[in-house]
């Protein structure tokens, strides 16, 4: 499966900067799924679970809300906190 770069940034530091195969994020109007080569997108995020997949590995986090930008096969999440 194709990969894309994911960056998760808080005011303190870059939390994640790695290649992944998919993410599911809590959009303000519902959950958003992102795969490699997704169309460009800029949206707000709600507080909730962030699921990150790379091959067979799945990790779950909780974000405080924020913003998601997808452009040129890079997804960037800006949030106040992630746990």
Domain with 29 in it = 4-79
pTM: 0.95
State the Cα–Cα distance between residues 31 and 46, nearest whole angstrom. 9
Residue 1 pLDDT class (50, 70, 90 cuts): confident
Across the range 36-54, mean pLDDT stands at: 98
> What pLDDT is stored for residue 29 in this prediction?
92
Q: With contact defined as beta carbons under 8 Å apart, do 54 and 24 qualify?
A: no
What is the domain count for the chain?
A: 1
Look over the chain and give the mean of its residue pLDDT values, rounded to a whole number: 97
pLDDT at 37 over 80: yes
CATH number reported for the structural domain that contains residue 40 in this entry: 2.60.15.10
Across the range 57-75, mean pLDDT stands at: 97
Strand runs labelled E in 1-83:
4-9, 14-20, 22-27, 30-35, 41-45, 48-54, 57-63, 66-71, 74-79
């Amino acid at each position: 499966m194709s990969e894309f770069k994911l960056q998760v940034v808080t005011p303190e530091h870059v939390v994640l900067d790695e290649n992944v195969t998919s993410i599911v994020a809590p959009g303000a109007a519902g959950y958003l799924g992102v795969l490699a080569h997704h169309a460009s997108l800029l949206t707000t995020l709600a507080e909730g679970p962030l699921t990150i997949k790379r091959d067979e590995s799945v990790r779950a986090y909780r974000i405080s809300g924020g913003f998601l930008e997808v452009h040129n096969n890079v997804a960037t999440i800006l949030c106040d906190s992630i746990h």
